Structure 1
Amino acid sequence: MLLLKIIDISKFSLAYLLSYVMRFFGLSKNIWIITERPAECKDNGYHFFKYIREKYPNQKTYYAIDRQAPDLKKITDLGQALYFNSFKHYLFSFLATRLIGAFNPVGIPNSFSFYKFPHLVKGKKVFLQHGITKEYIKSLTYSSTLVDLFCCGALPEYDYVQEFFGYPKNVVQYVGFCRYDNLNDYTLKKQILLMPTWRQFLPSQTWKMKGVKNFNELEREFLNSDYYAHYSYLLKNQDLLDFLERNDYLLIFYLHHELQQFTSLFETSNKNIVMANNSDYDVQLLLKESEFLITDYSSVAFDFAYMNKPMVYYQFDEEEYYKSHYNKGYFDYESMGFGAVARQETDLVKALINSFDTQKMQFYNDEMFTKRTHDFFTLRDTLNCKRTFDAVLYL
């Protein structure tokens, strides 16, 4: 660990000094860096990068991504890939005028030195976000992010972040999520997406990375959780299985990134159920192709609602979620949600079946939920990337 820190500090220091030399001789101007998670290119960052490369190819915009990323070709095909944590990534982080990302901290390497000395990075910081902010999350407040632009995807979200997260005037802007530009063109498949979010109080990828416990201990703790029990029972619910069989639907079960390591623990031999992992399935494509969504508190519900498609919220642990995961924010599922709220497995399955039109053999959305969607997303066009670009450009 000590040797790695010494190497990191040495690389950091050399890149910092070289950046001064390059600036002095005018060798680098107006570099933008965009990132998501190191090995991913599927979220707001990717769609913003793609927009810039296609519309403004002369803008020096680079996408920082891991060399072993499954979708690396998506970036290399667009050009100007920047390998995550490479020396060039370190150097360009000091030279960049804009550091942009869907996850915070934005743009910079995953490095001890950059986290220790963030003030040495002078570029304007842009937070594209990953999902709609609906709860009070301390790590997204201004004192935690210090970003110069916080991009919101909906009007109520903008109002909430602007009022309670401590950002200076004009930092928070409602420009729409870049990935929403890509939600207007899709082909439906006969599939239902089951995609719950994670829980901070459950073993997760973050726990594993921090070495809190070894993997076998994490597995045992997860297997003993109410979360595992509820979704295991749901996957075996006979009424649900009969519905899938009778109507020839697939149920795609996709765990949150933080819990993906536990996918194999959920056992099923049913041909109508697919256990999906993030290396083989793209979240946005699943959202676009699926007719119906089962989720809990996940922000993927907002993407699904944006497409005006039916869903149900399965909230069997509401009290514990708001006590131990995130504090409740402005979003009330009963009065603002885009689908029915079920706290029992039987109510969940009933809500799903009741949303199916047996004459047309497809799911349909209730008019009340459609109206809520239109009230929530007042910007509904294909100009989200353009608005974001303009906001970034004029920082």
Structure 2
Amino acid sequence: MIEKIRLYAKSVCNLFKMVVAYFLSNFVKSKYKNMWLIAERGYDAHDNGLVLYRYLKNNYPHINVKYVIDRNNKDSMEIDDNDIIEYKSFKHYLAYVSSIVLISTHIYGFSPNIELSLFLDRKNVKIYRGKKIFLQHGIIKDNIVGLHYPNITLDVFCCGALKEFNFIKENFGFPNDVVQYTGLARYDNLVRNIDEENFILIMPTWRKWLNNCAIDEFKETEYFKKYHSLLKNMNGKQKIIFCLHPEFIKFRDTFLDLKNNNLEIASYDDYSIPFLIKNCKFLITDYSSVFFDVTYMNKNTIFYQFDRNRFQSEHYSKGYLDYNDFGFVCSTEEEILKNVRYCENNINNFNFEFFKRNYFTYEFGNCDRIVKLIFKKLGIEEERQ
């Protein structure tokens, strides 16, 4: 009961700050005039948001672009100091309600309070002025009901692949002209450097049904046992980076008993995703859409799908994708180890032309397409300086 009262009081406080910011924004227009506000999760900068920010700074220096980030996050070094809006500060509230463009890689990542913004949107209470641009942080392959309209409302829903675009446009229920095939911003910077590829990247996604586990409970799960065993039995001469999903970083210590010079237990805070993608020899994942980036760079992927039925019933339901088109689909550790030996000595064994025809028909110019769409939504002419 006390916890419910505390959460209710916090929600009322956040709503009060948002309402105050909305009214004050009428008197602080000079600083926040025509602002384009960019965010990822709200506290970081290493994905499509950062790439688009740099593109705007280089090509449209006259645009008043700001970036939401926690100054204590090392990623803040990537942002000009004058462009930083401190995450969840009152300036963040002012920027959120005042900006003419709100851009994020995660749903409502530009908001100082995501849950409150979603709640107000669903009640048709619009307390912001800006066009909402969803850059995404990967390519959607599953039927994610939470991203359907009207569960969320957007002005632009950027898609990174042609098949993804067709699937979302047909199944997610958005009005015409919201879902757009632009390509992902970060793909403009994905350039393969074979000389630097010196480690195997293992990057599984998370599981909704495990998210509230205590540490001791997690160590008894199939997920932990499967990956702990795999890491133990792969732990040889080849360098391995095992990178946990942000939702599972709290379980990092459960794998540290395996750590040595050839095995690193990492998180998204330790490396940027583009660095890991560019420099890995090949990828082992389960269902994470990061394999699209690896395929885009014409590298091999091995899928470890020991719990596919449960994942598709309790996490995300099946979408349009056949994983066999993209890599080696395995359900046992023995299959994984067999395909690891193959991938250590062979380049991508899959038809890259198939991917270019069906997924990646755009190779470059993604940031340019996104910015032109934003100008179109604003109803103003593009102007470079």
- TM, length-normalised to structure 1: 0.87
* Structure-2 change in CA distance of 1:365 and 1:170 (3 Å): same
* Structure-2 change in CA distance of 1:113 and 1:193 (3 Å): closer
* Structure-2 change in CA distance of 1:27 and 1:131 (3 Å): closer
Q: Does the 8 A contact of 1:190 with 1:290 survive in 2? A: yes
CA distance in 2, matches of 1:321, 1:112: 25
Task: Look up the equivalent residue of 1:110 and give its one-letter code.
Answer: N
* Structure-2 change in CA distance of 1:269 and 1:150 (3 Å): closer
CA distance in 2, matches of 1:356, 1:393: 46
How much has 1:274 moved relative to structure 2? 1.1
User: Can you give the 5+ residue segments of structure 1 that lack an aligned partner in the other structure?
Assistant: 208-216, 358-362
User: 2:78 matched to which residue of 1?
Assistant: 74
How much has 1:22 moved relative to structure 2? 4.2
Q: How does 1:1-395 map to 2 (within 5 A)?
A: 1=6, 4-22=10-28, 28-76=32-80, 79-110=82-113, 113-118=116-121, 119-184=126-191, 186=193, 188-203=196-211, 207=212, 218-237=214-233, 240-241=234-235, 244-245=236-237, 249-266=238-255, 267-334=257-324, 336=325, 338-357=326-345, 363-366=346-349, 368-395=350-377
The CA RMSD measured in Å over matched residues stands at 1.9
* Structure-2 change in CA distance of 1:133 and 1:163 (3 Å): same
Task: Look up the equivalent residue of 2:148 and give its one-letter code.
Answer: T
* Structure-2 change in CA distance of 1:269 and 1:10 (3 Å): closer
User: Can you give the 5+ residue segments of structure 2 that lack an aligned partner in the other structure?
Assistant: 1-5, 378-385
The alignment partner of 2:180 has SS state of strand
Q: Does the 8 A contact of 1:65 with 1:84 survive in 2? A: yes
How much has 1:106 moved relative to structure 2? 4.2
The alignment partner of 2:228 has SS state of helix
How much has 1:43 moved relative to structure 2? 1.0
Q: Does the 8 A contact of 1:194 with 1:295 survive in 2? A: yes
The alignment partner of 1:331 has SS state of coil
CA distance in 2, matches of 1:270, 1:220: 23
Q: Does the 8 A contact of 1:100 with 1:126 survive in 2? A: yes
Q: Does the 8 A contact of 2:157 with 2:178 survive in 1? A: yes
User: 1:210 matched to which residue of 2?
Assistant: none
CA distance in 1, matches of 2:203, 2:116: 36
How much has 1:371 moved relative to structure 2? 3.3
Which segment is superposed worse, 43-52 or 8-17? 8-17
CA distance in 2, matches of 1:28, 1:342: 52
Task: Look up the equivalent residue of 1:20 and give its one-letter code.
Answer: N
* Structure-2 change in CA distance of 1:287 and 1:28 (3 Å): closer
* Structure-2 change in CA distance of 1:5 and 1:226 (3 Å): same
How much has 1:372 moved relative to structure 2? 3.4
How much has 1:286 moved relative to structure 2? 0.9
Q: Does the 8 A contact of 1:39 with 1:70 survive in 2? A: no
Aligned length, in residue pairs: 365
The alignment partner of 2:74 has SS state of coil
